[in-house]
Amino acid sequence: MAGFLSSVKTIIQDKMKEIQTTLLRKLDQWENTSLPQVELSTNFVDFGQVAYQNEISRELMIRNIGSSTAHFRFVPPPEEKNVCKPFLSVYPMFGMLIPDESQILTLSVFIDKTTAQQIHSQTISLEDILILKLENGRDFFIPINLSYLSSCFGCSLEYLATSLKPIRDVGKTDDDEEKVEDVTTPSNLSIPKELWRMVDDLYQRGMRFKDIFISTGHPEEVRFSI
């Protein structure tokens, strides 16, 4: 026979639960601080009034305010293939920021012939929302606002022939004109008034310029004539 002297460890349940709670709280704090966090200079981008083929750009700054590296990228909306509408472009589309680093994102709007025709036919909306996704973090939704300065540029001849008013005045109401109905005014023009004025001006003033139909026009003159 033999006698033994031993120390047996016992678990104090209340003390164990207290330590577990403290560890979980510290772990949760560590996870929150390790998640990437960024801030944007603005959550809304307004381009104002945009004219035909007149590119307008806006800058959006993103800064890493967290303690870990932040990876960001623009993603398409649900059930969409493209990140944004065809008239809008974003650069860069993705990037990486170390803590306290910032980067400028450039957003540009350009209305070309295809977009102008879609605007006049009301087959495209100028409203858009960019989705900036932060890897292992939150998503940022950036609304885009702009209005189009309608003009004859980008319009088909058929569309111009059906417009008796200047394109920019189409859709506007006039109380005086609503009261008087002119039955002599045709519903369609034989030739678009814009085309007639252009040809008439070329005949009156442009025939003295050599190679006028060979040389290209000046984008600045088109922009300021809208």
pLDDT in tens, 154-189: 777 777 777 777 666 665 555 544 443 444 445 677
pLDDT: which is higher, 172 or 19: 19
Model pTM?
A: 0.67
Q: What is the mean pLDDT of the chain?
A: 82
| Residue of 62, 59, 117 lying closest to 86 (CA atoms) | 117
Q: Collapse the DSSP code of 145 into the 3-class scheme (helix H, G, I; strand E, B; otherwise coil) and give the result.
A: strand
Prior bond of 192 cis (ω within 30°): no
Residue 223: the pLDDT is 60
pLDDT: which is higher, 140 or 29: 140
CATH top class, domain 38-148: mainly beta
The domain limits of the chain are 38-148, 157-171+185-225
Residue 196 has φ and ψ, to the nearest 5°, of -60, -45
pLDDT: which is higher, 111 or 216: 111
The string of pLDDT tens digits covering residues 191-210 is: 778 788 878 888 887 777 77
pLDDT over 50 at 17, yes or no = yes
pLDDT over 60 at 225, yes or no = no
The string of pLDDT tens digits covering residues 24-69 is: 887 777 766 668 889 999 999 999 999 888 899 999 999 999 888 9
* Mean pLDDT value across residues 93-102: 93
Q: Collapse the DSSP code of 140 into the 3-class scheme (helix H, G, I; strand E, B; otherwise coil) and give the result.
A: strand
Residue 179: the pLDDT is 41
For residue 54, count CB atoms less than 10 angstroms from its CB and return exposed for 0-12, middle for 13-18, buried for 19 or more. Answer: middle
pLDDT: which is higher, 1 or 88: 88
Strand ranges of the sheet holding 70-75, from the earlier edge strand across to the other edge: 45-50, 139-148, 128-134, 70-75, 94-97
Question: Cα 125 to chain center, whole Å?
Answer: 11
